[in-house]
Amino acid sequence: MSRLYLLIEPWIYMCMAITHIPATIRVLVVAKDYGTLFSPSGFREALFGTFWATIGPQLKAINEERVVALLEGRIKDGHIHDKVVSASIHGTVLEVGAGSGMWADVLARCSGGVDAAGSLRSRKNASSGISKIYGVEPNPISAKALQKRVNEVGLQDVYQVVPVGIEYVDDPTAWNGKIEPGSIDCIVGILCMCSIPEPEKNIQLLYKLLKPGGHWFVYEHVKISHGGPLMRFYQWFCNIPWSFLMGSCSLCRETGETLRATGVWQEIDLAPPDQTGHEIIPHIIGTLKK
């Protein structure tokens, strides 16, 4: 990608979001949801939902190779390998901010486990693999779409939609269940830590849910750590209109640092995926082992 494109990338997404304003208003008027229409925070979330329905599949197509490699244990130091080089997704899984189920088909493909050569096992014959998935998604429209997607990909016997924010997953009064501390083998966070409230507090909560030896699979966009102060200022400046147009998403989250600092990890492998160093929306990818 050209340097100019990387520089204006946030503005391209924001212009796309603006073009979704009329459709968002139309949907809310048709639904007679005037409360959301006239609530700045409600409208912001509804706009992001409409926008994500367009941009989500495009981002999935761009990022699928990386995310599949991550979940299959084929990422090390930000690079994709042909063979398994770290843990692959298994056991009881918590997918944070699952959205409308963009990654449900990938989870279904990985659910039988991965052998040492990096080949996926069929779920029917698998002795390892995924036994349960909690998909945490507070947006009611997305949670409904998530359930539909789970059924479409045939994961309904394994995947439970948890229709609350992660801050409530251990609260049985908030939803029909409770996730116990130390009960999760793998946490999956794909482009979601930028959107959750109180990241330090909620990442700490998620850390407590992980079993000792459990893995956190990370693919997130983060605050710029490369370049000089001008680049950091420019990202901060872009984040001002971004925060009005992109739901609760922030461009300037230090998710990598927050994850590292949240507790004791046996292993940390977090690095930028192959990037040019000129990104205003830089990413990190990898795993942490508790």
Minimum CB distance to ligand SAM, residue 127 (Å): 29
Q: How many residues at the interface with ligand SAM, by CB under 6 A?
A: 23
Identify the CA nearest to 68 among candidates 98, 89, 96, 91. Answer: 89
What one-letter code names the amino acid at 130? I
| Burial letters 160-197, b for 16+ CB under 10 A, else e | bbbbbbbbbbbeeebbeeebeeebbbbbbbbbbbbbbe
Q: What binding mask, one character per residue, do residues 200-239 give for ligand SAM by CB under 6 A, x or -?
A: ----------------------------------------
What are the phi and psi torsion angles at 132 (to 5°)? -160, 140
- Is 56 an interacting residue with respect to ligand SAM (CB under 6 A)? yes
As a whole number of angstroms, the distance between CA 82 and CA 68 comes to: 12
- Is 78 an interacting residue with respect to ligand SAM (CB under 6 A)? no
Cα 53 to the chain's mean position, in Å? 15
As a whole number of angstroms, the distance between CA 280 and CA 274 comes to: 14
Interactions with ligand SAM, residue window 133-152 (CB under 6 A): 136-139, 142
- Of 21-29, 187-195, 209-217, 255-263, the segment contacting ligand SAM by CB under 6 A is 187-195
As a whole number of angstroms, the distance between CA 181 and CA 62 comes to: 34
- Is 50 an interacting residue with respect to ligand SAM (CB under 6 A)? no
Interactions with ligand SAM, residue window 146-185 (CB under 6 A): 165-167
Rule CB under 6 A: choose which of 28, 130, 196, 288 binds ligand SAM: 196
Q: What binding mask, one character per residue, do residues 92-111 give for ligand SAM by CB under 6 A, x or -?
A: ----xxxx--x---------
Minimum CB distance to ligand SAM, residue 192 (Å): 4
* DSSP string covering 225-267: -SS-HHHHHHHHHHHHHHHHHSTT--TT--HHHHHHHTS--SE
Minimum CB distance to ligand SAM, residue 286 (Å): 17
Residues that bind ligand SAM (CB under 6 A): 52, 56, 96-99, 102, 136-139, 142, 165-167, 190-192, 195-197, 248-249
